[in-house]
Amino acid sequence: MNKVACQYAIVRFAPYVETGEFANVGVLMVAPRQPYFGFKLETRRHGRITRFFEELEPKFYREALRATDYANREHVLAFARRQ
């Protein structure tokens, strides 16, 4: 098994910046020497987020997730084209 150096970041959803509260909703991983860029976002368990942020309209979270997912996919495609 080959070892591969990589970096990762946790994706957080923070609808109310002033409170500092957030929920982890995904992970992003980069292995520059491979080259690899990938991510996984929580797309199914919306109730976990909307229960945590009671005042939040469920539609807002779904739309934010959809926009983030689309933007990241475009970034992945651009990254792949450069390689």
| DSSP states of 13-30 | E-S-GGGT--EEEEEEEE
72 vs 18: which has the higher pLDDT: 18
Q: Tell me the whole-structure pTM to 2 decimals.
A: 0.68
Amino acid at 11: V
Alpha-carbon gap, residue 83 to 68, rounded angstroms: 23
Evaluate whether residue 2 is within a structural domain.
no
Evaluate whether residue 1 is within a structural domain.
no
Evaluate whether residue 44 is within a structural domain.
yes
Evaluate whether residue 58 is within a structural domain.
yes
Determine the pLDDT at residue 18. 92
Q: What domain count does the chain have? A: 1
Print the domain residue range for 53.
7-82
Evaluate whether residue 54 is within a structural domain.
yes
Question: pLDDT tens digits for 11-60?
Answer: 888 888 899 999 898 898 988 888 888 888 877 777 888 888 888 888 88
